[in-house]
Amino acid sequence: MRYAQVVLDIPTRQLDGAFCYVIPDELALEVRVGATVLVSFSRRAAVGYVVEELDAPSDSVAGGKILPIERVLAESAFDEARARVALWMAKEYACPLSEAVRPFLAPGQGYRVRKVEESGSWELQSDSSGPVDERWVCLTEEGRTFEPRKTAARQRVLLSALAEGPVRMAELSVLISGAAGVVKALEARGVVAVEARRRVRGGEETTLSSARAARPERLTSGQREALHAISSACAAAQGDVVVVDGVTGSGKTEVYLQAIEETIAQGKGALVLVPEISLTAQTVGRFRSRFGDDVAILHSRLSTGERFDQWDLARRGEAHVVVGARSALFAPVRNLGLIVIDEEHEWTYKQESSPRYHARDVAARLASEAGCALVLGSATPSLESLSRCDRGVWRGATWTRVSMPERPGTAMLPRVRIVDMAQQFQQGNRSVFSKPLVEALQAVAERREKAVLLLNRRGFATFLMCRDCGCVPECPHCSTSLTYHERTHMLMCHTCGRSWPQRAFPDPTTSCPNCGSRYMAAFGVGTQRVEDELRMVLPEGVDIIRMDADTTRAKGAHQRLLEEFDASDCAVLVGTQMIAKGLDFPEVTLVGVVNADTTLKMPDFRAAERTYELLEQVAGRAGRGERAGEVIVQTYWAGHPAIQAVARHDRDLFLAAEEADRREGSYPPYSRLANVTVWGRDAASVRRLSEALGASVRGKVDGMAGWEVLGPSDCAKAKAKDNYRRHVLVKAPEDSNLGELLGTCARELGSHAGVNIAIDVDAYDLM
Ligand code: ADP
Ligand code: ZN
Ligand code: ZN
């Protein structure tokens, strides 16, 4: 007799283990790790996922009767190594087991058990998109003139559905009850024909010239060194990590491509993660041009059906390479030999809803469970990755950093100029553009070249900034910028929860605490305003292309705007953060940053790191071709190490200051930091539960070295969608089991109607 450990799809922290079921003989072939099954639990039907097969019942049975698995609902979506990763995620990120398993399931193929209101019985539901049925139904020649009997209502509906062209069997089933029977009857009479066809959805084409990846004649020494390190990590087959620390344009993508070629040659598969925003036709095209149809693409702009098709290519072993955004990490690539995370510093790799994981850390775990290598590439590696490389070993794996400091060929790093906006303001310039930037833009127009203008708009918090000296009031206890709450006229530190009424500072709405200037204003300009001012300073005949949340809402709009920019002979691309990454247009000779400060002033210990990354990345868009590039950064804080480091192409300048700050404040990467948020509609219950939570965590970590509990305090977003939000921040030593401890606290507090606890281990968003 065989047994299976099954994770039940009941999302509660109270069920913290898998349950043991018997595999009946008739299902022996179908029940596999990764399969979705129907079982009975507490006298009701439940959907579950097999995470382990056993020869003997597990301890979880505790003497009771072991029930059988009743049905297999969906074939295996993940293997043993991935099942172990899911179980680890549940502990690491303190989330219900079923939520840790979900990311591994086939897109759009979920099953749920629902209570039927009228009868009180349980029924099985599948997601509306359903499994992809590859059978298509179409009208035959005779079918076009066929007249069904008056009483054959379902035949009529079916025929009118087919009048427009072939329809998938699965869609007909949604449209008409008993569609299969109707189709069968009509097929017997020669009215319709059923054909199986494989139409793989989700493969996009592009016209971008830069989307081809011609194999370079020779690699740079940095590229060779990186490939060598990756080969060794692959050969070690134990989850070793190689950080490819290469300046923008140093040819990291070529390194990935060749490492993947080697992986495929060994009969293995590869996973490549790129940030959602740079998952453009440009990136996709480079992989397609090297690997053709051996690549499956996964991102959020695909429909569920498209995602399933691409996912299934990997599961069936028809595509050895999967390129995708964060969640592609869970794709069922067979015989995984290599995982690549490009732009590993990007915070889109952090998932902000349960399971709140970081793709970098899950990838490291997957690499060691699957026995493959992990490559992390970036021009600005995260402090986390750098410190792991410094230590050499992290969580049992070897971390190696390879640096690629040069661009191949003649391409040079651009010259970076810092413009002090306070000075500009004092000289009477009220425009969003400084004099040097206007002149540089006009020169680009004259030379008929291209420019990129970045408007930094990350962070929601309102803070006040002095336009004379750039000062933003800070918390004296935390050195994070105070956010200004208009409703209460309070300046607040959301790290420690302290707040000050406006009288504690000179009136914050009118004058500066630093220089007394009366020009204090909530800071922020929009892309529209930048576009308008741009039209005023540029001559006719320069295309201005604006890329922001508004202009890219429609499907394919992002892509179309880039193609427009590519096709133009002289243009300025204006946009938010989304333009900073991954674009490779050789004709761009000028990059302007309108406001470098907004990220710097975010109330977040990673503010400086984010600013540095953003500036370095956007600067990297300039001078990728023959012609030299120039970067102009407008800022109120010209002396900040993050700004200076970009100006001088000297990362150590930034790192030295930043690492010292983090060490002193005991922030990651020198500690772990969790953000536990309590939210709900009733302020009093939220307050009570957050107090209980704070007390519970304090009770557990009291006297333990390296642990620190901050709060509870109101979140920076103290109220969102009518929910009150309070949080507790927990700092813990680097090697601690932070998630397990917090999961235990949450379980012990039990569930409270109308109040929720969200545990975010290794949190990025602290608001
Ligand atoms: P990164 O990913 O590091 O920003 P890319 O991979 O986009 O850099 O490479 C920048 C440009 O250099 C691309 O156009 C690429 O085709 C080219 N390139 C890469 N490696 C080489 C090489 N060894 N010789 C010549 N050109 C190269
Ligand atoms: Zn504070
Ligand atoms: Zn001032």
Pocket test for ligand 1, best of 254, 255, 581 (most atoms within 8 A of CB): 254
Specify the range with the lowest mean pLDDT, choosing from 31-45, 86-100, 407-421, 658-672. 407-421
Q: Which of 654, 677, 650, 670 is nearest to 757 (CA)?
A: 677
Instruction: Tell me what pLDDT residue 752 has.
Output: 86
User: 3-class SS at 168?
Assistant: strand
List the Cα angle 760/763/766 in 5-degree steps: 100
CA angle 391, 395, 399 (to 5 degrees): 45
Torsion sign (Cα): 483, 489, 491, 497: negative
User: What atom of ligand 1 comes closest to residue 220's alpha carbon?
Assistant: 23
- Which residue's CA is the nearest one to ligand 1's atom 4? 249
The per-residue pLDDT for 146 is: 86
Ligand located closest to 218 CA: 1
- The residue nearest atom 15 of ligand 1, judged by CA position, is 251
Tell me which residues have their CB within 5 A of the ion that is ligand 2. Answer: 475, 477-478, 493, 495-496
What distance in angstroms lies between residue 492's CA and the mean position of ligand 2's atoms? 8
709 pairs with which residues across the strands?
Answer: 730
Q: What pLDDT is stored for residue 643 in this prediction?
A: 92
State which ligand 1 atom lies nearest to the alpha carbon of 409: 25
Mean pLDDT, residues 161-173: 74
Q: Which ligand is nearest to the CA of 380?
A: 1
- The Cα–Cα gap between 390 and 400 comes to 8
What is the position in ligand 1's atom list of the atom closest to the CA of 586?
14
The closest-lying atom of ligand 1 relative to the alpha carbon of residue 250 is: 3
Measured distance CA(275)–CA(343) in Å, rounded: 7
Q: Is 227 helix (H, G, I), strand (E, B) or coil?
A: helix
Higher pLDDT, residue 607 or 522:
607
Q: Whose alpha carbon is nearest atom 23 of ligand 1?
A: 219
Residue-level pLDDT at 508: 46
Is 486's pLDDT higher than 60?
Answer: no
Taking residue 240's Cβ as centre, other Cβ atoms within 10 Å add up to 25
Between helix 80-92 and helix 738-749 the angle, nearest 10°, is 70
Q: What is the pLDDT of residue 526?
A: 61
Place of tokens 């800022």: 635
**Residue from 410, 584, 618 whose mutation best tests the ligand 1 pocket (most atoms within 8 A of CB):** 584
Least confident of 112-116, 653-657, 721-725: 112-116
Concatenated DSSP letters of 668-695: TTSSEEEEEEEEES-HHHHHHHHHHHHH
CA of residue 253 to ligand 1 center, whole Å: 7
Nearest protein Cα to ligand 1, atom 5: 251
Ligand 3 centre distance from Cα of residue 493 (Å): 20
Ligand nearest the Cα atom of residue 480: 2
Q: How far is the CA of 767 from the centre of ligand 2 (A)?
A: 13
Position 478 scores a pLDDT of 59
Let me know: does 673 contact 667? Beta carbons within 8 Å: yes
Q: Identify the CA nearest to 386 among candidates 371, 372, 402, 373.
A: 402
Question: Which ligand sits nearest to residue 498's alpha carbon?
Answer: 2
Ligand 1: centre distance to CA 249 (Å) = 6
Q: How far is the CA of 462 from the centre of ligand 3 (A)?
A: 17
Q: Measuring CA to CA, which residue among 383, 97, 405 is closest to residue 246?
A: 405
Distance CA(136)–CA(128), nearest Å, equals: 18
Q: Kindly give the distance from the C-alpha atom of residue 352 to the centroid of ligand 2, in angstroms, as a whole number.
A: 24
Q: Which amino acid is at 703?
A: G
Ligand 2 mean position to 601 CA, how many Å? 14
Contact 744, 664 (CB under 8 A): no
DSSP classification of residue 327: G
- The residue ranking higher by pLDDT, 764 or 281, is 764
Q: Which ligand is nearest to the CA of 518?
A: 3
Q: Which residues pair with residue 322 across a beta bridge? A: 271, 296
Q: What is the pLDDT of residues 216-255, one digit of tens each?
A: 889 999 999 999 999 999 999 999 999 999 988 889 999 9
* Integer Cα distance of 595 and 612 in angstroms: 13
Q: Which residues, including other chains, have CB under 8 Å from residue 58's CB and lie 6 or more apart?
A: 3, 5, 18, 20
Write out pLDDT tens, residues 620-634. Answer: 777 666 677 899 999
364 contacts 397 by C-beta, under 8 angstroms: yes
Q: Residue 749 above 60 pLDDT?
A: yes
Which atom of ligand 1 lies nearest, measured to the CA of 253? 6
- Give the other-Cβ count within 10 Å of 216's Cβ: 13
- Alpha carbon of 250 to ligand 1 centroid (Å): 6
**Residue 148 forms beta bridges with which residues?**
none
Mean pLDDT value of segment 346-365: 94
Q: Which of 406, 450, 441, 618 is nearest to 530 (CA)?
A: 441
Give residues (CB < 6 A) around ligand 1: 216, 219-220, 223, 246, 248-254, 408-409, 584
Rounded distance, CA 745 to CA 422, Å? Answer: 49
pLDDT band for position 618 (cuts 50, 70, 90): confident
pLDDT at 694: 96
pLDDT of residue 130: 42
Residue 578 falls in which region: left (phi positive, over 0), alpha (psi -120 to 50) or beta:
alpha
**Whose C-alpha lies nearest to ligand 1, atom 10?**
249
DSSP 255-323: HHHHHHHHHHHTT-EEEEE--GGG-SHHHHHHHHHHHGGGEEEE-TTS-HHHHHHHHHHHHTTS-SEEE
What percentage of the chain exceeds 70 in pLDDT? 84
- Nearest of 330, 367, 337 to residue 106 by alpha carbon: 330
Residue 473's pLDDT is 74
- Side-chain-side CA neighbours of 415 within 13 Å: the count stands at 5
In this predicted model, which residue has the larger pLDDT, 234 or 546? 234
Give residue-wise pLDDT tens across range 121-137. Answer: 667 777 644 445 567 78
Task: Tell me the torsion sign for CA atoms 105, 109, 110, 112.
Answer: negative
DSSP 8-class letter at 331: S
Return the DSSP state at 752: B
> How far is 167 from 445, CA to CA, in rounded Å?
52
pLDDT (mean) for 674-697: 95
pLDDT for residue 108: 82
Q: Ligand 1: which atom is nearest the Cα of residue 219?
A: 23
Phi/psi for 18 (5° steps) reads -85, 160
pLDDT in tens, 374-428: 999 999 999 999 999 999 999 999 999 999 988 887 667 788 999 998 888 788 8
What pLDDT score does 267 carry? Answer: 95
- The answer to whether the CB of 321 falls within 8 A of the CB of 294 is yes
Quick one: which atom of ligand 1 is closest to the CA of 210?
14
Residue nearest to atom 1 of ligand 1 (CA): 249
Q: How distant, in Å, are the alpha carbons of 398, 496, 603, 607 from that of 479?
A: 35, 10, 9, 11
For residue 588, report the distance from its CA to the centre of ligand 1, in Å: 16
Distance 478 CA to ligand 2 centre (A): 4
Report the distance separating Cα 622 and Cα 691, nearest Å: 51
pLDDT band at 460 (very low <50, low <70, confident <90, very high): very low
Beta bridge partners, 677, equal: 727, 758
Which of 253, 406, 410, 616 has the most ligand 1 atoms within 8 A of CB, as the residue to mutate?
Answer: 253
Mean pLDDT of the chain: 85
Give the closest ligand to the alpha carbon of residue 616. Answer: 1
CA distances (Å), 628 to each of 75, 412, 625, 648, in order?
A: 55, 7, 7, 16
Cα–Cα distance for residue pair 217/465, rounded to 1 Å: 52
Give the closest ligand to the alpha carbon of residue 340: 1
Separation of CA 665 and ligand 2 centre (Å)? 12
The token pair at 559 is 């892509």
d(CA 89, CA 116): 33
Strand partners, 378: 245
Q: Ligand 1 center to residue 211 CA distance, Å?
A: 12
Among the listed ranges 134-138, 146-150, 610-614, which one has the minimum average pLDDT value?
Answer: 134-138
